[in-house]
Structure 1
Amino acid sequence: MTMNDHQWLMNSQALNSLRKLRKRLQAEFGLNLRFSDFDFEQQLAQVKSRTVDSDTRKLIAQLETLKGSPFLTGDEPPERLYRGQKILQEPGKKNIYEMIYGEELALHDGRGATIAPRKMYRGHPVLN
């Protein structure tokens, strides 16, 4: 879904929630939220983290549910993709290499001490 796709607004429940939310945001922040503004979703994302009103948070959560995705400020880091698919990473979890190698990770990812390569011939080490 693109930032300019506002099809989710064509729902009467979304419009009613937005009308209620406009009044609350005007009272709390002095913000005139216009549905025609191209960045009103970014404004909602910024307000979501700053508001102290629990009803405002509930209304924003309802709108995110109707939209099908959270409102983004645009400052979020880009998604990590592998072959076009999102990389699933649980918060607070180490990546697979850290889990396997632990403290020895530096030795296995090229940052550790280098060892002179051994000369091999047909799978057997060559003596100098």
Structure 2
Amino acid sequence: MRYKSEAFGRFKEYRLEVENHTGRKIKAFRSDQGGEYLSGEFIYYLKENIILSQWTPPGTPQLNDVAERRNQTLLDMVQSMMSFIKLPSSFWGYALEIAAKLLNMVSSKTVSQTPYEI
């Protein structure tokens, strides 16, 4: 996504993909009240599709603990990979992509399948 204005269209695509692949509906949408999520069109879409809007206070990323924990795990993995192999910082994006793929192929305590299998 290059522009924040693309968020609404990307969310609609994501919702359809998730619901088609899992057969389950998205029940809640959590956001930091970014302007890209506060448009009347976006809010109407959420209400129309019975998706609960959950807004965290601005400037408090620690309240979105699941996403922040995943971000920290990804950051730790990237830093480890970059320092172990001694790659230049221009490869940071590639290392992040690999770290995300690895995390999606690893099982967790709460779900019997990996995100990749789901």
- TM (norm. structure 2) is 0.23
TM-score (norm 1): 0.22
Structure having the higher Rg: 1
